[in-house]
Amino acid sequence: MKRSLTPVASLGEFGLIQRLTRGARLVNASSIRGCGDDAAVLDYNNGKRVLVSSDMLIEGVHFDLSYVPLKHLGYKAITVNASDIYAMNGVPRQVTVALAVSNRFTVEALDELYAGILLACERYGIDLVGGDTTSSRVGACICVTVIGEAGEGEVTCRDSARVNDLVCVSGDLGAAYAGLQVLKREKVVVGDDPDARPALEGYEYVIERQLKPEARGDVTRRLAEAGVRPTAMIDVSDGLSSELLHVCVGSGVGCRVFEEKIPVDGQTRRVAGELNLDPVTCAMAGGEDYELLFTAPLEARDALAAMEGVSIIGYVTPPEDGRFLVTRDGALVELEARGWNSFIQRE
Amino acid sequence: MKRSLTPVASLGEFGLIQRLTRGARLVNASSIRGCGDDAAVLDYNNGKRVLVSSDMLIEGVHFDLSYVPLKHLGYKAITVNASDIYAMNGVPRQVTVALAVSNRFTVEALDELYAGILLACERYGIDLVGGDTTSSRVGACICVTVIGEAGEGEVTCRDSARVNDLVCVSGDLGAAYAGLQVLKREKVVVGDDPDARPALEGYEYVIERQLKPEARGDVTRRLAEAGVRPTAMIDVSDGLSSELLHVCVGSGVGCRVFEEKIPVDGQTRRVAGELNLDPVTCAMAGGEDYELLFTAPLEARDALAAMEGVSIIGYVTPPEDGRFLVTRDGALVELEARGWNSFIQRE
């Protein structure tokens, strides 16, 4: 049975945005009014900080629709923004979504995108409260702005790490990068053959990490429950090395992190081996893991060591001691910002 | 003397954003921390509403860099967002700017764009607190999110007009559309001749209205000072007809507005004549004026009639009386949503 498909132009801008946001329900008390007026109306109580962050995703730069399903793209667009709020030790509450698409997209395709957006909103307890929908000449562009809140004393920036703090990371790293390499390889292998099926069995974890990453609000919640207050925090969007440097440069400190302590999943190691990549390089330089990198007081060592999904990977040093990865054989490798830079064309 | 120009890729993403935002100063008490972390940190007192709105501008759809200078584009990107907050009867306080540009842009070009962004921020007392900078394959895309505040009882939506209210509009209408037609005509006339100078003398007002519109915070301030509380409000981005329908449909009311009362500047009339356009059609269907359309209680008639820069153009009726423009000769023309729709290609 063939579904009939609807050109975007047939609905008009307002009809389109009404259709796309019809599944949006407001769940947060701070969301007074959502989509449909010049601006959304929010209400935050005294003593709370409001956090706001914007991220833009561009077709051909951040995503390739030949291997990223639109529903996953919508989910990921919300996740990466939610991650920014968790990385401030806050809780995301609202998002606005601005979207530009060319005429080659149908309304049904945008329904898929919004299904992913609304699924992620539900997952993270976020209200979709507004945005903009417009056309582009070519390609798609999604800009999400997230608004969150945190108690006045809870906001955790990237520039407040202290000497002797522990350096910790949530989950595991490098999988999203390994997943991207598999997707790129399969795209090449499958090429233009419409009957070819990509060979993705055995790659589920790394592909899921690339296509449908999760923001780690569970980790900030667990830290709060354990009474552990991170001193500095950032999310790992550009690779561990680059994020460590942001924290160290911002805080005016050095660090030592240990190769053997960096959490890398078994499937990531296997895939990296197949692709002739070093798994630790995937973790250090790969990016898009959306795990949390944070520093915490030395006294929290026992609580952190016992915490599920958290690894202690090193410690903060005085700035003059430099910023180093200590390899398994004890060599010191200076950290480099080799993270993702969208302005430099990469192979 | 030739200025040396810097490719965007030479700075890297963080170097670029640091350079572009180096002129950003925080002037609002509610801006605790600005650019440079995962999210900006804002603080709003109890009893205030937080307003948030996003708008996306796409090259080739919303602007044409062959006749829009980048500094004007930056200014306008902030203005159109500030306008959304004023249209809620609020005051804009912070913006985030997400920007995607292709490699054909130099750092100096982006400096110009940000000079316009920061000039508008200064003009409206807005703090630039964050954003994102990335590359695009082709063209430029700017997404601005604005955050504003309003007292709990001051927020004015578009769905709260009441029967017998006055319908009012600020400034004059149709000029931005007339200016766009002049710019398009001169682009055609000038063509590819690098020595040709566009003939823009005598068109200054309409071109300024297109390239550098102003958001009407002065009008909401004047209303508050005069003790006039608008019952519904919207900004005129898509043409008066379309905005009137938003207010009427949202509020479940009808309206009569009078052709002879619609404010159109003399230069707009002259240019419209030259271009064989009806000036009232420019006002009704043109868009991009960023004036405020609002309804107000009948008792405010004297205060509004005496107010600089405000015209009373009609009144609100019961819904069964329909939504009409009354022409100079007394004919009733039903209002149509002929506003700007970016999904439908227009000549």
* CA of A237 vs chain B CAs: smallest distance (Å): 10
Q: Report the Cα–Cα distance between both ends of chain A, in Å, rounded.
A: 41
Q: Tokens in use for A26? A: 């407001």
Non-local (6+) Cβ contacts of A270 within 8 A are: none
Q: What confidence score (pLDDT) does residue A31 get?
A: 81
Return the number of CB contacts < 8 Å for A and B.
243
pLDDT of residue B106: 86
Check A97 against B157: CB less than 8 A apart: no
- Kindly determine whether residue A235 and residue B52, on different chains, have CB atoms separated by under 8 Å: no
* Contact residues, B window 273-332, toward A, CB-based 8 Å cutoff: none
Q: Are A271 and A183 in contact, with CB atoms under 8 Å apart?
A: no
Q: Which chain B residues in 83-112 lie under 8 Å from chain A, judged by CB atoms?
A: 83-85, 87-88, 90, 94, 96-100, 103
Residue where the block lists tokens 């907050």: B85
DSSP string of B193-208? -TT-----TT-HHHHH
Q: What is the DSSP letter of A326?
A: E
Vertex A224 angle, CA A153 and A31, to 5° = 65
3-state secondary structure of B67: coil
Phi, psi of A217 (to 5 degrees): -65, -25
Backbone angles phi, psi at A133, to 5 degrees: -135, 125
Segment B209-240, tens digit of pLDDT: 999 999 999 999 999 999 999 999 999 998 99
Chain A residues whose CB is inside 8 A of the B49 CB are 32, 41-43
pTM: 0.88
Q: Which residue has the higher pLDDT, A105 or B82?
A: B82
Mean pLDDT calculated for residue range A57-85: 92
Task: Measure Cα distances from A338 to A16, A244, A345, B38, B132 in Å.
Answer: 41, 11, 13, 19, 18
Domain A8-151 has CATH 3.30.70.360: no
At residue A88 the predicted structure's pLDDT band, cuts being 50, 70 and 90, is: very high
Is the predicted pLDDT of residue A343 greater than 80, yes or no? no
The percent of residues above 70 in pLDDT, for chain B, comes to: 91
- State mean pLDDT over A14-31: 76
Q: List the beta strands (DSSP E) in chain A.
A: 31-33, 40-43, 48-58, 91-101, 127-135, 141-151, 166-170, 232-235, 254-258, 292-296, 310-317, 323-326, 332-334
- Locate the domains of chain A by residue range: 8-151, 166-334
**Do A16 and B343 count as a contact with CB atoms less than 8 A apart?**
yes
Tokens of residue B78, six digits: 């902030």
Check if A39 contacts B (Cβ < 8 Å).
yes
Is 60 exceeded by the pLDDT of residue A342?
Answer: no
Q: Which residues of B touch A132 (CB under 8 A)?
A: 54-56, 143
B147 touches chain A (CB under 8 A): yes
β-strand pairing of A323-326 with A254-258: parallel
pLDDT for A170-222, tens place per residue? 999 999 999 999 998 887 766 666 566 666 788 999 999 999 999 999 999 99
Q: How far apart are CA B314 and CA B319, in angstroms?
A: 15
Joined together, the tokens standing for residue B144 give 């601005």
Distance, CA of A221 to CA of A215 (rounded, Å) = 12
Alpha-carbon distance values, A4 to A12, A70, A114, B70, B344 (Å): 18, 18, 19, 42, 20
- pLDDT of residue A250 exceeding 80: yes
Label residue B340 by pLDDT band (50, 70, 90).
low
Residue A16 contacts B, CB cutoff 8 Å? yes
Tell me what pLDDT residue A75 has: 96
Q: For the structural domain made of B12-151, what CATH number should be given? A: 3.30.1330.10
Check whether B303 has a pLDDT greater than 90.
Answer: yes
How confident is the model at residue B2, as a pLDDT?
58
Separation of CA A209 from chain center? 10
Residue A347 has a pLDDT of 32
A134/B100 CB distance under 8 A: no
B347 pLDDT above the threshold of 50: no
pLDDT for the residue numbered B345: 41
The complex's ipTM works out to 0.86
One-letter identity of residue A267 = Q
Residue B23 pLDDT > 80, yes or no? no
The pLDDT confidence band at residue A113, using thresholds 50, 70 and 90, is very high
Measured CA to CA, the distance from residue A345 to residue B102 in angstroms comes to 11
One of 3.90.650.10, 3.30.470.20, 3.30.160.20, 3.30.1180.10 is the CATH number of B166-334, namely 3.90.650.10
Question: pLDDT per residue over B144-177, tens digit each?
Answer: 999 998 887 888 999 999 999 999 999 999 999 9
Name every chain B residue with its beta carbon within 8 A of the beta carbon of A250: 36
